[in-house]
Amino acid sequence: MTALTLPDLAACAWFLGAWIIYSIVIEKSAKGRTSLNALMNDYRNEWMERLLERDMRMVDAQVTAALQNGTAFFASTSLIAIGGALTLLRSSDEVMTVMSLLPFGAAPSRGLWDIKMMGLIIIFVYAFFKFAWSYRLFNYFAVMVGAAPLPAEKDTPAAQAFAHRAARLCADAGRHFNRGQRAFFFALGYLGWFLGPIPFAVSTAGILVVMWRRQFASDARKAFDTNAEFMAPAPKHRNIRTSPSRRR
């Protein structure tokens, strides 16, 4: 019996709706402009303006390489995840036999299991395309860093236009990276479907809460709050006893 039940359809609708609405809020709404991701775009602009002032740009090259390496890591991880999901899809009978021995209910039908695995594969394929395009954009950005105008030209209109163009390209690469990472997070919520529709809905809600908190209520986000006071604690004065020789 391959048909999805009504609870399964409701949980899938909740999963897709949560993903789409969260993405729209983060990337398109006024609330999203206060997220941690959006605040970092201002620093990308500032980075490119500082780059124009530097004669030696080794630090900029190192930061660019770090961005590329991180993106490449997630892209390769996506391929590994796709391979693992395809292996589970080919071994459906063996996996379902194992799941039937677990204490959390009956194993799903072969058709339902294949549908769930195909959904997981689609998520990882989507993540791979996002990470791969982000990596390509960071390559373009690295070329632009190498072609940056000289410090003597930093105040010219051409140099300022270059800085904003490079910052925009870097922000675009970061946006696609965030979309790929978002797919990874929702893939964790998707795993709840293998336990049933109710765990699927609960795990999706949990992932949504965690991501929302990281963008708007985490300690990292509070570091950008202009109303917060970041004062170093006053040093505690130790009561040092002076020796008799010093008293003299």
At residue 91 the predicted structure's pLDDT band, cuts being 50, 70 and 90, is confident
Name the pTM for this structure: 0.84
Which segments of the chain does DSSP mark as H helices, in order? 6-28, 36-53, 58-90, 92-99, 110-146, 157-190, 197-216, 219-222, 244-247
Cα–Cα distances in angstroms (integers) from residue 54 to residues 155, 156, 170, 236, in the given order = 13, 15, 19, 40
SS3 92: helix
Confidence class of residue 55 from pLDDT cuts 50, 70 and 90?
confident
Q: How confident is the model at residue 112 (pLDDT cuts 50, 70, 90)?
A: confident
Measured distance CA(43)–CA(171) in Å, rounded: 10
Lowest mean pLDDT among 157-171, 182-196, 230-244: 230-244
